[in-house]
Amino acid sequence: MNGRIHVVQGDITKLQVDAIVNAANESLLGGGGVDGAIHRAAGPELLEACRALHGCPTGSAKITSGFRLPARWVIHAVGPVYRGGQQGEPALLRSCYETALQIAKENGVRSIAFPTISTGAYGYPKAEACKIAVDAVSTWLAKNDLPHEVTFCCFGDEDRRTYEQKLQQ
């Protein structure tokens, strides 16, 4: 995508981007994995802001300030729990990415970073989730000017390689 999509391995809470995406649960009140890391790094103000949002349905997203994070915004996207792939999980996962990108566009976000949504405790197979993520983001970028830059921030080496290979195809 003409240099608009990047893959990095590291800590999403440290990235210098306009917005980071949180792999949130429906309550938006924090949890484990990337969700817990983002809440810890952003500080207690993030929890208060999330309480005011009154949750978020699976497949959707909501936005808050980034508080103590380098990113100005946090977009909380709720991915599906994987139950074999026949319960609408692919469409819900794709919707997470599309909704987050739409929210980013509406808020003038120029750069955004996504974690690997639903692949941790929610059990989504990494290769399948990667394919959906890359396809959703690529399709979005082909039709929209914002955000200008999307980063897939992978925690582990295996995830990073999976995303790099998918983007090379």
Helices (H), 15-156: 33-42, 44-51, 89-106, 126-143
Active site residue 145: no
Residue located via tokens 């792939």: 85
Which H or E run contains 129? helix 126-143
Give how far Cα 101 sits from Cα of 46, 84, 136, Å.
20, 26, 10
From CA 18, how far away is CA 98, in angstroms rounded?
17
Q: Which residues pair with 78 in a beta bridge?
A: 24
Residue of 35, 135, 145, 157 marked active site:
35
- A 10 A CB-CB count for 43 gives 13
Positions marked active-site = 35
